[in-house]
Amino acid sequence: MGKDKKKDKGHVRAVPPPAPQDAHERNPGMPLQLDWVRDVRINRSAVERRAATIPTRRSVKKEWQAAWYLRAIACTDLTTLAGDDTPGRVRRLCAKARRPVRQDLLDAMGVGDLDLRVAAVCVYHEMIPTALDALEGSGIPVAAVAAGFPAGLSPLHERIKEVEASVAAGAEEIDIVINRAHLFTGNWQAMYDEVKAFRQACGDAHLKTILATGDLQLLRNIARASLVCMMAGADFIKTSTGKEAVNATLPVTLVMVRMIRAYLERTGHRVGFKAAGGIRSAKQTLGYLALMKDELPRDYLEPELFRFGASTLVSDLERQLEHFVTGRYSAEFRHPLA
């Protein structure tokens, strides 16, 4: 790197290429245990105090921060779920998924051989063929939202058919949203039965269940819904559709992650976590990554078990990495998403 001090600091010593992870058994689910669900208690003030300390207690700087930003990119589901989506937009999104950070920046950081790509591309059913074509040979899976997204209020047989259709079209991951009415009426059996039916409809495709936490009012409701979805066989539990007024937050994440840990301790089965909606800046990712590192085993920092769901996040991560390398911020328009 010569004598250029700004370039010298660009070496990211903390980021080897992600090693392949040992395959873990999918969560097979378990019979619904209503006593466990009803016994859940959440101390809201304690959760909020704990969550508030995470961004300050676990600060990372310089090359370590750049390393965590690279990890965040690898764990991102790059998403477009707009009413005006077009094949052209999806193709541009997929191009970004293949190469989320410019090669010259990776070279300057000393990780030019890093096979960096996002975890998945998430689209509506209509755009699955376009995404599959644009991602061919990349190894990046296509995820599709289904089951009456984002409200989950269409007839159950139609929601199941949506899941089956998206799997048949080639989606390897399916993001469904729960029917929140079951939660508010205390009909846990109905929620369990529906999620179990979606899991069966997925076949080999992985099922992510969206709780729409901004609509659930109480942290206790979020904890209970998390447990029910895991018991029904969900591969991931996910915070939000991105359409609610309040989406992913650290307190909500802490509650869901603690439920994942409790389920792991009781059953031995790993369930992934996806923070989605409202995560737009690189700095926000550090709190979520630190929380996962504190609360769960090391493999929960891999895309097999942890995801960000975002549309613009990757662009800001790349912009921050450019600042790390050059010491300057480029204009935001130089980092368009799609």
Prior bond to 150 cis, omega within 30? yes
Peptide bond into 155 cis (omega under 30): no
Does the structure show a pLDDT above 50 at 14? no
User: Per the residue annotation, which of 175, 215, 235, 316 is the catalytic one?
Assistant: 175
Tell me whether residue 189 is in a domain.
Answer: yes
pLDDT at 3 over 60: no
- Does 1 map to a domain? no
Which pLDDT belongs to residue 17? 40
Average the pLDDT over each of 39-43, 51-55, 65-69 and give the range with the smallest value.
51-55
Residue 13 lies in a domain: no
Query: Is 238 designated active site?
Result: yes
23 falls within a domain: no
Environment class of 314 (CB within 10 Å of its CB; exposed 0-12, middle 13-18, buried 19+): buried
17 in any annotated domain: no
Q: For residue 142, what are the β-bridge partners?
A: 121
Catalytic residue check, 104: no
Catalytic residue among 96, 196, 208, 238: 238
What pLDDT digit, counting tens, does each position of 205-246 carry? 999 999 999 999 999 999 999 999 999 999 999 999 989 889
Catalytic-labelled residue, pool 196, 215, 274, 316: 274
Give the domain extent around 182.
Answer: 30-334
First and final C-alpha spacing in the chain: 32
- Residues 73-123: pLDDT tens digits? 999 999 999 999 999 999 999 999 999 999 999 999 999 999 999 999 999
| 15 belongs to a structural domain | no
pLDDT for res 291: 96
What predicted TM-score, i.e. pTM, was given to this entire model?
0.90
Whether 274 is catalytic: yes
Residue 71 lies in a domain: yes
Domain annotation covers residue 141? yes
Look up the CATH number of the domain holding residue 151.
3.20.20.70
Number of domains in the chain: 1
